[in-house]
Amino acid sequence: MKKVLLVIFLFLTSSNLSADNPYYLNFKYILNESAAGKKAQEQLKSKLDKGIKSIRNKEKSLQEEEKKIIEQKKLLKPEEYKEKVKQLRSKVSNLQKERKSLIETTSKQRNKARNELLKSLNPIVKNYMKEKNIKMVIDKKNILLADESLDITKDIMNLLNKNLKSIKLN
């Protein structure tokens, strides 16, 4: 009788311990590989590429303008030459501001998309934790070693892809 009680006790405590194991997810993988995350990244990359292409075209135009000014240096009066150089510097400065603005805007939109994705992810993870009786979920980047059976990334990814198809960036 004592052996039966001991076996039952061990069984109950071992099943209870499994619910106390901290599970983990790879948030970076979910952000980069989920359907909504991929779409957001593609949109941001496309917008950034267009902006960079526009800036490069303007740079080429400014370089050509600089060559023309240098060629005209001997033909222009010193005041005219200084004025043209001043205007060129102003255009270069504006172009640098435009580049900085493009990068800042893209960065803000990337952060906004990330936050929106995480905001959508939180209730999904909470519901999953309730359903599976999980007490703790940790980001994979904070783990040195863990059993892969504790990885819930794919399950959460599937749930997220069902619930969130895309993210609005604007």
Domain that holds residue 61: 22-163
In a domain, 13, yes or no: no
In a domain, 10, yes or no: no
In a domain, 3, yes or no: no
The number of distinct structural domains making up the chain is 1
- For position 83, which CATH number holds? 3.30.910
Residue pLDDT, tens place only, 30-54: 989 999 999 999 999 999 999 999 9
Measured CA to CA, the distance from residue 89 to residue 93 in angstroms comes to: 6
Measured CA to CA, the distance from residue 28 to residue 25 in angstroms comes to: 9
Provide the pLDDT for residue 106: 94
In a domain, 159, yes or no: yes
Q: Which residues, given as ranges, of the chain have pLDDT below 70?
A: 1-20, 170
In a domain, 9, yes or no: no
Q: Phi first, then psi: what are they for 7, rounded to 5°?
A: -65, -45
Provide the pLDDT for residue 143: 86
Provide the pLDDT for residue 21: 80
pTM of the complete model beyond 0.85: no
In a domain, 103, yes or no: yes
In a domain, 43, yes or no: yes
In a domain, 76, yes or no: yes
